[in-house]
Amino acid sequence: MTEFDYVLVGGGLQNGLIAGALRMRQPESRIALVERAGALGGNHTWCFHEADVAPDSRDWLEPLVVHAWPGYRVVFPNLQRTIDGRYSAVTSERLDEVASAAVRGGPGSKLFLNTEVSEVGTHVVTLSSGGRLEGRVVVDSRGPPPPSGRATAGYQKFLGLELELARPHHLDRPVLMDATVDQSEGYRFLYILPLGPSRLLVEDTYFHETHSLDRVQLRDEVLGCVASRGWEATEVVREEVGVLPMPWTGSPSVPASGPLLGGYRGGWFHPGTGYSFPVAARLAEFVAGRPPADLFGADLRRFAHEHIRQVKFAHLLNRFLFRWCPPAARVPIFERFYRLPETTIGHFYALRLTWPDRIRLMTGRPPRGLSLRHRLRYGTER
Ligand SMILES: Cc1cc2nc3c(=O)[nH]c(=O)nc-3n(C[C@H](O)[C@H](O)[C@H](O)COP(=O)(O)OP(=O)(O)OC[C@H]3O[C@@H](n4cnc5c(N)ncnc54)[C@H](O)[C@@H]3O)c2cc1C
């Protein structure tokens, strides 16, 4: 008999979700979760919209939610809009708590922290220490590979500061995009999460062609923007940075047998946002929803093909944004996006776009500056 039913390599978002879903759907499963850091989940705040996740997955997702709001706002030079629908946040600390308990709470299961994996095979995982773990299913979710340097992606890069303020901010819901900030470097916006009456997470975010990020400069930018809105920061509680690829090529591979590549490593993320929560939750539900012996087969191929179809359209949008669209035309493009029906906006975030959604996204008058001349110039320049 193999030692484990599931060996999960990498204790980030994807495998944290798989561990939680498995404990709910297959309480007796023997899980090994191997993470090279001292805790699971890294240093992130992941958010998701209500429509991003299947109602059936709520039972195992709900314990992860640290904050929830009744909707969100977007702010552009010519548009302010409030969109209803639950928007939830999950922190790394909570993922660590919930996923660790899910692994430790099961029979024959084990959590390996501070443990580096050197090789991942179909059924055997080799540790840097020389040890081996054997599993009926191996899921390799070791996060994104390093940027290739090839021009096949733009990037969503950001620096976020969690700030304690001297006085209440009076925000009742997150601001997903405030694009009324200086736009000299591609498309830029502030992302603001109200985490408490006088606590904010403020991220300065750029959609840009390069992946470099100047932490010192961005820190100053965030504090400058906060001050310009009349908020007085008394303490920086936490800082997080992210450089998320927004590719226009590449697709998840669909293996006939293991290991299953999960999360960013396997292409299970939204190319148009750089985020992976909705897709990772879907994959977790899929893995947990069938016994290990039935994981690889026609169902997985169908599941992956639906994802790939969505990914290909998102690649087209990225190509449009980064290759055809001059930086000055990007704010109007996002402003136009947020004028679309709420269902289309929701389907975009969930990576569940229908054909009518796609037509809505691709038709209409192009923003000023996006002439054919520009498209040709930007399409051939890089
Ligand atoms: C600051 C920040 C905020 C973000 N916010 C959001 C958000 O709001 N919503 C969203 O959907 N996405 C968000 N993202 C994107 C996020 O990175 C991905 O959504 C998600 O973390 C990817 O999950 P993953 O499991 O594939 O990889 P990761 O979460 O990166 O996990 C990979 C894990 O594998 C471990 N590992 C790597 N190599 C080895 C090895 N050899 N041996 C053992 N362990 C190993 C790593 O230590 C890590 O813990 C954010 C990213 C950042 C950086």
pTM of the model: 0.92
Query: Residue 358 falls within a domain, yes or no?
Result: no
Average confidence (pLDDT) over 338-346: 96
Which residue, of 293, 308, 323, is where some domain finishes?
308
Same domain, 169 and 267: no
Q: Residue 281 and residue 185: Cα distance in Å, rounded?
A: 33
Give the pLDDT confidence of 153-205 residue by residue, as tens digits: 789 999 999 999 999 999 999 999 999 998 877 799 999 999 999 999 999 99
In a domain, 27, yes or no: yes
The CB of 364 under 6 Å from ligand 1? The reply is no
At residue 93, the pLDDT reads 97
Which is the closest atom of ligand 1 to the Cα of 262? 26
pLDDT per residue as tens digits for the range 237-253: 999 999 888 888 887 77
Share of the chain above pLDDT 90, in %: 79
Distance, CA of 252 to CA of 308 (rounded, Å) = 7
Co-location of 229 and 269 in the same domain: no
How many structural domains compose the chain? 2
C-beta of 110 in contact with ligand 1 (< 6 A): no
CATH number at residue 275: 3.50.50.60
Pick from 36, 19, 39: which is nearest to 106 by CA? 19
| pLDDT for res 186 | 78
Report the 3 state secondary structure along 142-175.
Answer: CCCCCCCCCCCEEEEEEEEEEEEECCCCCCCCCE
Of 243, 379, 251, which Cα lies nearest the Cα of 320?
A: 379
In a domain, 315, yes or no: no
| pLDDT single digits (tens) 15-27 | 999 999 999 999 9
At 367 the pLDDT is 53
381 pLDDT above the threshold of 70: no
Domain boundary among 308, 323, 355: 308
Whether 121 and 211 share a structural domain: no
Angle at 40 between CA 37 and CA 44, to 5 degrees: 105
Regarding whether 285 and 198 lie in a shared domain, the answer is no
Rounded Cα distance between 277 and 299, Å, is 21
What residue numbers bound the domain in which 97 lies? 4-68+86-144+249-308
Contact between 361 and 344 (Cβ < 8 Å) = yes
Half-sphere exposure of 218 (CA within 13 A, CB side): 23
H/E element, 339: none
Q: Which of 262, 278, 308 is the last residue of a domain?
A: 308
Q: Which of 13, 115, 119, 177 to mutate to test the pocket of ligand 1 (most atoms within 8 A of CB)?
A: 13
What's the pLDDT band for 329 if we cut at 50, 70, 90? Answer: confident
Residue 279 sits in the same domain as residue 243? no
Q: Is 263 in the pocket of ligand 1 (CB under 6 A)?
A: yes
Q: How far is the CA of 375 from the centre of ligand 1 (A)?
A: 34
Predicted confidence at residue 252, as pLDDT, reads: 76
The reported pLDDT for the residue numbered 326 is 83
CATH number at residue 170: 3.30.70.1990
CA-to-CA separations, 182 to 85, 205, 225, 267, 331, in angstroms, rounded? 29, 12, 10, 32, 11
Cβ of 141 below 6 Å from ligand 1: yes
What pLDDT is recorded for position 328?
Answer: 80
pLDDT tens for 125-162 read 999 999 999 999 999 999 987 666 555 778 999 999 99
CA–centroid distance, residue 14 to ligand 1 (Å):
8
